[in-house]
Amino acid sequence: MRKILVTATAFFFLASLAGAQTSTPSRVEEYRNGLKQVREQAQSEVKDIRTEAKQAVQNLEEGARKAIEEKRDAFQKELEVKRVEVKDKVEKAKTDLKERLSKIKDERKKQVVERIANQINELNARSMNHFSDVLDKLANVLGRISSRADKGAVRGLDVSSVRTAISASQTAISTARDAVKAQLGKTYSVLNATTTESGLKGVVGAAREALHTDLKKVEDAVKTARDAVHNAATTLAKIQGVDDKDKENNKEEGDSNSSSSSKLLKACPEAWIVNVMPGPASSSTIPREYFVYKGVRHELTEFNVGWVKAQCSVRPTEAQ
């Protein structure tokens, strides 16, 4: 900024000096050359400032990416420790269950109880793995939001409201991850030392209910994290001009790659959906990010996404 001010001052000084002097052809040419040098110097300084700003943004993006990866890796390591601990607990619970079932005479009931006990603990582990994946995806989405906010800040936009929303999202994700870790460490016993054959149905039902209650608490924590990230995204979208520079860059990128993307759709969809809600394991192969165009779902691979980003107002919206 200081260099630009100095350059501008020199520019106006030379201009005023040129107007004040009695002009001769050689004198006019001298002034013209001086003005040309000032203009070229200003352009060079502006280019340097843009390069420095771009590098600053890249450094911020790299730092944010590393922070996300470090938190994710630390979280996964803690979960792995919990998995080992739970595996030992489950094996011990199975042994204890067999001993307590030895006093039950009905073999069919024994088999049913053992199967349900296994299902309860397996469901708990499977659900926590799923919630862990959801939180990792939310952290990645938040990282992209943070990156866009950093770019806006470098360009002089007020992103303080976004920073607040991002901080709240980070706290919510951390809280949800703590809930996942704690829940993953739990095991559920369907029998106790005083259980009789007539009381099997009651204790099994109680174990199921306890798991359901605990899973609901974790699900609520994950939903809170999801809502916080969604709020950060909508807060960012309200900042006028936050994506202007990205549109220019995406347009340039789209022009350079026009030959390879000529067959892709260049049309503005009505919605850009990112589905982060928990779903069945069988849905893992279905892309969770897609466009809605003319009322019908379309995959991102059908569109020229660079063109959509540059020409359309639609932005990713997490499914409610």
- pLDDT tier at 253, thresholds 50, 70, 90: very low
- pLDDT tier at 239, thresholds 50, 70, 90: confident
pLDDT score for 188: 79
pLDDT score for 166: 92
Q: What is the pTM of this model?
A: 0.56
Q: What percent of the chain has pLDDT over 70?
A: 64
pLDDT score for 2: 45
CA–CA dist 161, 236 (Å, integer): 8
- pLDDT tier at 6, thresholds 50, 70, 90: very low
pLDDT score for 215: 93
Judge whether residue 303 has pLDDT over 80.
yes
Please choose, from the candidates 133, 134, 136, 127, the residue with its C-alpha nearest in 3D space to the C-alpha of residue 183: 127
**Mean pLDDT throughout 203-224?**
90
Please choose, from the candidates 150, 151, 139, the residue with its C-alpha nearest in 3D space to the C-alpha of residue 247: 151
| pLDDT, mean over the chain | 75
More confident: 143 or 261: 143
pLDDT score for 310: 81
C-alpha separations of 18 from 7, 33, 35, 42, 316 in Å: 17, 12, 10, 19, 55
More confident: 90 or 205: 205
Q: What percent of the chain has pLDDT over 90?
A: 14
- Burial (0-12, 13-18, 19+ Cβ within 10 Å), 143: middle
Domain locations in the chain as residue ranges: 2-49, 60-239, 243-320
**Mean pLDDT throughout 186-203?**
68
pLDDT score for 226: 94
More confident: 238 or 112: 238
pLDDT score for 199: 64
pLDDT score for 256: 47
